[in-house]
Amino acid sequence: MTSPLPDRAAAPASGPVSPIRGVQPSFDDLGTPLRDVTFCVVDLETTGGAPGESGITEIGAVKVRAGELVAEFQSLVNPVDPIPPFIAVLTGITDGMVASSPRIESVLPAFLEFARGCVLVAHNAPFDVGFLKHDTQVHGYDWPDFVVVDTATLARRVLSPDETPNCKLGTLAKLFRTTVTPNHRALSDARATVDVLHGLFERVGSLGVQTLEDLQTFSSRVAPQVRAKRHLAESLPHAPGVYLFTDDRGEVLYVGKSKDLRTRVRSYFTASEQRTRIGEMIGIASGVRGIECGTALEAEIRELRLIAEHKPRYNRRSKFPERQHWLKVTVEPFPRLSLVKQVRDDEAGYLGPFTSRKTAERAMAALHEAFPIRQCTARMSKTPQGSPCVLAEIGRCVAPCDGRISPEAYAPYVTGLRSALTDDPAAVVAALDRRIDVLAADERFEDAAVQRERLSAFVRGSAKMQRMSSLTGCAEICAAKRTDDGGWELHVIRRGRLAAAGISPRGTDPRRYLEMLRASAETVLPGIGPVASATPEEIELVLRWLDSPGIRLVEMDGTWTCPVGGAGRHVARLDNSHSDAHHHPSERRRRMRPLGAVAR
């Protein structure tokens, strides 16, 4: 079990792989240990050097895992065409030997099944894989999504000219003293390649390559000063948590999270890290601190808080959570919408927070489309005597500025506006739908797209605020989720803020652990607005976890609900009926449907 989360989290002291399949794992998923990978080492003998012009005469393959032999595969293949004499002399395979052998279309299914789920390895892989892929395509089979490792390329990256004059299989077999001597027969050469592969693994292991992902992007051209810093990861545990890179003055340069702290940090010192800015950061860094966390949610939230606290120069996101924009219904005789940066305890209506001023302005424009309230910023008394603006002349404003409407007659517009902000956005959706329909009918698709963007900004902002307000209105929520090993993840959430997190191990009473967490959890007092106790990003992370499958609500102090007619019900329909201003006019008109026209 871990301790509660304080406000300030204290921290304790082109590559060797042929890109047959583009693998782009997330940082948290980095690190499939090489010992856990099953490799299928394959070698072919052929009648020539070009697929389509030559045929395969023999396939040999060896399947290994964690250095141990799993299985072998061997088959002669009838290439149909005669074997050239010099090939027969080189390989010892003659026309008579393959005359009664199966053709490649019969051998391929067996080999593909043998290699299924493996990482494919070959010496000079483009040659062998090229033949296999060509024949697979010609005979109508599906080529599996293999990851391919080329031992020839890997050797060129690892070995120096002083060690070996070339990277031919026979030369490398002598260098690594393989148990089998290559002799241009497929299975023998595959067995020799296995020993070469293991010898290369020993070399790259000393350079920080421990996982399949490291191997896929390995390069011996990693700067020596970067490789020399890989020891910084050795003090970190193989556990989930947050890591902080620091310079020699102790300044935090970068904050990240991972399910495995040591593996993730170690990956920064290999060629698997290719981001320019991060490479610059690694050059400056002199230390790494780790904070072990009990749950993934705790790690995500600690990362957010640490980024907000330290504002590291190499983190691009979450550095300035205080930069928020709100729409406010002012408190005065003739209220209006105002763009502000904080919520006050003034009984005004608010909508937000918005991540950018531009998005907030779009939402404001959507509200002005539905409610003809004043848009001028001048202060007005109960009996104004000004002159009407152009909005009044075109019927877009009820013009309180010249006294034509009283505060009492103006009030229903403000009441409807407030309701749209917090409860039911139907009036705004209907008004914007009508406007979009008219513009689309006139083939003014660009103008209709602008209205769609305004509607989207308003609906998403309203739905987000309603979700957050519901959660932050609860004084406490205690929730649990089963772990993979049969224990329980436990979280105490107070007013939308993660106040404590921990794990109840398998076989223990989770309620006892939960009570301990509640007793030690952070005290969170009510504040003003839906994000007074935590940042919007933190609240969204908590909501996402609460919405995930398998969550059990154990205790709740408050009511966690959202309005039945709230904005959330419009978001999905808005996604399904989005407009694209770059489509052909006829296609844009078809897509520019009003939100209400989407099937319910």
Give the active site residues. Answer: 184
Give the Cα separation of 563 and 463 in Å (integer). 10
Own/partner pairs, 211-214, CB within 8 angstroms, 24+ separation: 211/30, 211/31, 211/32, 211/33, 211/34, 211/263, 211/267, 212/32, 212/33, 212/34, 212/37, 212/119, 212/147, 213/23, 213/25, 213/30, 213/31, 213/32, 213/267, 213/272, 214/267, 214/270, 214/272
What would the DSSP string read from start to end of 94-123?
-HHHHTTSPBHHHHHHHHHHHHTTSEEEET
What would the DSSP string read from start to end of 362-412?
HHHHHHHHH-------S---SS------HHHHTTS---GGGTSS-HHHHHH
Element housing 515 (H / E) = helix 510-520
Widest distance between CA atoms in the chain: 110
8 Å CB contact between 116 and 144: yes
Exposure b/e, 97-127, CB count within 10 A at least 16 = b:
bbeebebbeebbeebbebbeebbbbbbbbeb
| 364: nearest Cα among 340, 337, 341, 343 | 337
Alpha-helical runs (H) found in 184-331: 186-205, 212-216, 224-227, 261-267, 276-284, 296-310
